[in-house]
Each structure stands twice: as structure tokens, then as C-alpha cells.
Amino acid sequence: MSQDQKLLLQKKKSKRNLIEILMGSIVKPLFGDNLTTIGSNIAGLLFIIETLRRYFPGQLKVTIQELLVNAIHRLPFFKKCADKTLAFFSPYAQIRFTEIEEYRYNYAYPAITTYLGAQVNPQVKNLKGSQMRGRKSLDFKRDDDKLEDEYEGVKLWWEVVKFNDGVKMCRLTFHRSNWEVVTGSYLKYVVEEGKSIEEKKKKVKIFMNNPSPNWEMFTMNLWSSIDFEHPATFDTLAMDQKKRGEIINDLLAFREGEEYYKKIGKAWKRGYLLHGPPGTGKSTMIAAMANLMSYSIYDLELTSIGNNWELKKLLLATTSKSIIVIEDIDCSLDLTGERGVKEDLQSNAEIKKLKKKNAVTLSGLLNFIDGIWSACGQERILVFTTNHLGKLDQALIRRGRMDMHIELSYCRFEAFKILAKNYLNLDSHLLFGEIETLLEETNMTPADVAENLMVKDSDSGVDGPLNGLIRALEQMKLNQHSNEQQKEINK
């Protein structure tokens, strides 16, 4: 006999001894010697107690029968017997929702707890109160671990359980005759309601990646975040109306596209490349996107990432419903044309050293865009911005990786009208005609136009900023003209 088998035998023996001692010291004096009678008596008693308990699952008080049942449940053998007998006879069914189910996060769990927490009415005895930043009112949340609910005339009982080992669970008890209602519509209603409450409360955040030497054991240190409170919206963004409509529709279709992406077998992600001169609204558009979608922003600073492995780790730590942004991708690293120079400069030791230092490579980034997306996380938007579209490697910007290329350009009259409305609350003005002509003849960025439209002297009304803009445009026109003349001379 092996050592393990011996140990097992010993264990079984000691268990049997324990049962014998129990029988001898407690059961025998109480019930006499006839064990068959004892067994059936105990089973009968358990049955009555448990049936009572399950017939009244809404009873919140700790009663003697509950104490008895709890005590009996501590003996695994009796518990097993009772559970089996009662599961057979009980008219009630239970559904458990554990926070972690088969090593995966169960998204129904937080939605259910949110729903249960929101069931606040004057009859509730235990509440939790809180006040979030920027809110005037107090929020109240139910703080009971047991709750009775009613849905379409059906009574339901919830229990929130937190075990010592950290496992969290919600348990729903209902009459079997309501099986259809519960599994067909009630649970769907609870989860959806919970999610919509979470959605309303959710704050958009902006995350910045921490330099890797600051990372510690926990992934929490990879990103730092603050509430995102940028006021930009697509309404305040000065750009071509048609293009703006297309972008909004594209974003909204993406947000609603879960089923569609599943159907076509594509990962639920979308890439936008924003390009244009400085001050044309690329960063402002990212803020408008985040506000439209209520997605958080992950502002990825490539220069503080050591290598592709760190890049992967950072990206894996992002959540769904987010916008991952890499600004000025052309300046972030030597990503441009890296593939092209690879072979030519293989022998160049200096370049190799440089690459080792800044080891985030174009292929690492491309791997992430194409590979990692499908493997982890869904509903993510990736945005690259650049001032120099021509400098980027074609592999990086080809369609499929960057699905939509959006050019943001100099301010023309249509964009100006949006700025005039935002800054001066003006729909029309006598000076608009002159401004329209000057905007066509010059290349002024929306940032510069906006700066001129800022009211600096409240006495001058709207004429002051408009005249200021005209002067700035005329000056720019003169400069452009003399630059062109200089170029001609240099030729």
C-alpha cells in the first residue's frame, strides 16, 4: 500500500470515528439505539425546517429554525442529505451570480448589485449616502444584503453574499412556476437597468501612461487618471459640416456595432488618423469624440515606453469603451520608414544602438493594432494624429488599420461661422463678407481665428474682435505675398 493510500485510509477512519463519537454522545441519548429511526427522524426534521425556511425566503430575522439549520449544515453529511431531499421537493429555485465565474469577470454581477443598490424607497431601513465631485446633490444607495423585489406580479428574493475568501455573489430565489418570467425577461431587465444606471454615473476619464520604472507589482500603476472635463463637442468644432456629419455617423455606427462586427468576424475596433497643420483642431476633435461616445481616453506617450513588451502590457491594461490616442505619431519615435531602412542599415551599429534604446518598433505597434485587438478587449477606438501625413510609413496608415483618414485644415468661411457663433454668438454680420474673402485668400488656422475672436475688451462689442480678425488676416495676406515674392527671387 502506498503512503498516499495509507493517509487516505487514516483520514477515512478518523472521520468514521468522529461520526461514531457524535452518534454515541449526542444522538444515542436523544433517540435510543435504533439508527434507522434516528436517520429518518433527522431527515424528517430537516425537511420540515428547510421547507419552512424556503417557503419564507423573504423572512429577514434570524429565527431559531435558521440557527438550527445553520448548525446542522455544518455537518456536511446532513447538509448533503437535506439539500438532496429538499432540492427534490422544494418549489423554489435559485440562481447564483458570482463576481468571478470560471476565472473570468462576470459583468452581470456589478450590473445586478447596481440595480439592487438603486432600489431605494421610504421603506428601506439601511442606506449609504455619498456625494461625488462636481455634484450638488447627495446620492443614496441601498445597503441591505437581502432584498425583496417584485416584477410583473412575481415575488423575488435577492441576497448579496460576501465570503471570507473575498468571493462575492448575488443569489436570486424564486418560485419555480415563475421560471419563464425570471429567465425570459426579469433577469435581462435587471442587468440592463443596472448597466444603464452605471452608464449614467460613469465619468469619462483621461489616462496617462506612467514611465515604466515607476511600475510596481500591480497593473494599477501602469496608468494614472483624472476626470476628463474638456468642454469640446462636435457642435463647437469648426469644420466642414458634411465631413462632421460623416464622422459622427461613423462613430455612432461603431458604438452600436457589436452585432455587426460579430457577424462579419472582425474585432470590434476602429482606427482614425487625424492629420493637418498645427492648430487645426486634431486634439479638440479627440475630446469631442470622447464626449460624444462617453469613452475614456488613454493618452499613450510612446517616448516613455521602453520596448514592445511594455507597450503590450500597457495596452492590455486599457478597458473597453475607450479611445487610445497616440499624438504626433511621426515625432513619437522613429516609426517612419523603419521597415524600409531595416535591411539597408542592418550593419550600422549606431542605428542598432538607437533602436535598442527606443525599442518600441513599428512592427510592435502594428502587431498590437492587428493582433492584440482581436485577442483581448473590444469596443476600442485608436486615434493617431500627425502634422505630416507624408512622413508616415504606408504600413501604418493603410486602410484596415486606420479605417478613416480625417484631414483638418485651415479655417474657411463655413468653419469661421461656427467659431463666430461659439465665441460671439453671431449668426451674421456686415463684416462677414469681407472676412469670407480674406479667409479664402489666406491660410489661417482655426486656433488663430479663435484667438482673434476672443473678446478682450467688453466695450468694443462684437465689432472689436471682428475688426481685429480682419486686421490679422490682412497682415497674414501681406506676409504670404512677400514670402512668395522672396521665393521667386531666390529661384
Least Å distance, CB 466 to ligand ATP, is: 17
Q: Residue 194 and residue 431: Cα distance in Å, rounded?
A: 53
Instruction: Indicate the residue among 29 and 278 with the shorter CB distance to Mg ion.
Output: 278
Site for Mg ion in 234-293 (CB under 5 A): 282-283
- Contact of residue 281 among ligand ATP, Mg ion, none (CB under 5-8 Å per partner type): ligand ATP
Instruction: Indicate the residue among 182 and 418 with the shorter CB distance to ligand ATP.
Output: 418
- Contact of residue 278 among Mg ion, ligand ATP, none (CB under 5-8 Å per partner type): ligand ATP
Cell numbers found for residue 358: 527606443
- Name the nearest CA neighbour of 389 among 416, 412, 409, 367: 409
Instruction: Indicate the residue among 216 and 440 with the shorter CB distance to ligand ATP.
Output: 440
3-state class of 326 per DSSP?
Answer: strand
Least Å distance, CB 408 to ligand ATP, is: 6
- Contact of residue 182 among ligand ATP, Mg ion, none (CB under 5-8 Å per partner type): none
- Contact of residue 289 among ligand ATP, Mg ion, none (CB under 5-8 Å per partner type): none
**Interface ranges with ligand ATP (CB under 6 A):** 237-239, 278-284, 387, 408, 446-447, 450
- Contact of residue 465 among Mg ion, ligand ATP, none (CB under 5-8 Å per partner type): none
Q: Residue 90 and residue 51: Cα distance in Å, rounded?
A: 7
Contact 78, 72 (CB under 8 A): yes
Least Å distance, CB 290 to ligand ATP, is: 13
Instruction: Indicate the residue among 178 and 385 with the shorter CB distance to Mg ion.
Output: 385
- Contact of residue 468 among Mg ion, ligand ATP, none (CB under 5-8 Å per partner type): none
Number of Cα atoms under 13 Å in the Cβ half of residue 367: 11
**What is the DSSP track for 98-139?**
ESEETTEE-THHHHHHHHHHT---TT---EEEE--TT-SS-E
Total of residues contacting Mg ion (CB under 5 A) = 2
- Name the nearest CA neighbour of 286 among 257, 322, 249, 319: 322
By residue count, the chain amounts to 491
3-state class of 147 per DSSP?
Answer: strand
Instruction: Indicate the residue among 330 and 393 with the shorter CB distance to ligand ATP.
Output: 330
Q: Residue 257 and residue 259: Cα distance in Å, rounded?
A: 6
Instruction: Indicate the residue among 329 and 466 with the shorter CB distance to ligand ATP.
Output: 329
Q: Residue 441 and residue 171: Cα distance in Å, rounded?
A: 70
Least Å distance, CB 323 to ligand ATP, is: 14
Least Å distance, CB 443 to ligand ATP, is: 13
Instruction: Indicate the residue among 286 and 466 with the shorter CB distance to ligand ATP.
Output: 286
- Contact of residue 279 among Mg ion, ligand ATP, none (CB under 5-8 Å per partner type): ligand ATP
Contact 342, 355 (CB under 8 A): no
Least Å distance, CB 332 to ligand ATP, is: 13
162: enclosing H helix or E strand:
strand 154-162
In the sheet that holds 296-299, the strands lie side by side as: 223-227, 205-209, 296-299, 322-326, 380-386, 269-275, 404-407
Least Å distance, CB 264 to ligand ATP, is: 33
Instruction: Indicate the residue among 358 and 422 with the shorter CB distance to ligand ATP.
Output: 422
Least Å distance, CB 109 to ligand ATP, is: 40
> Residue of minimal CB distance from Mg ion?
283
Quickly count: other Cβ atoms within 10 Å of residue 259's Cβ. 9
Residues making contact with Mg ion (CB under 5 A) = 282-283
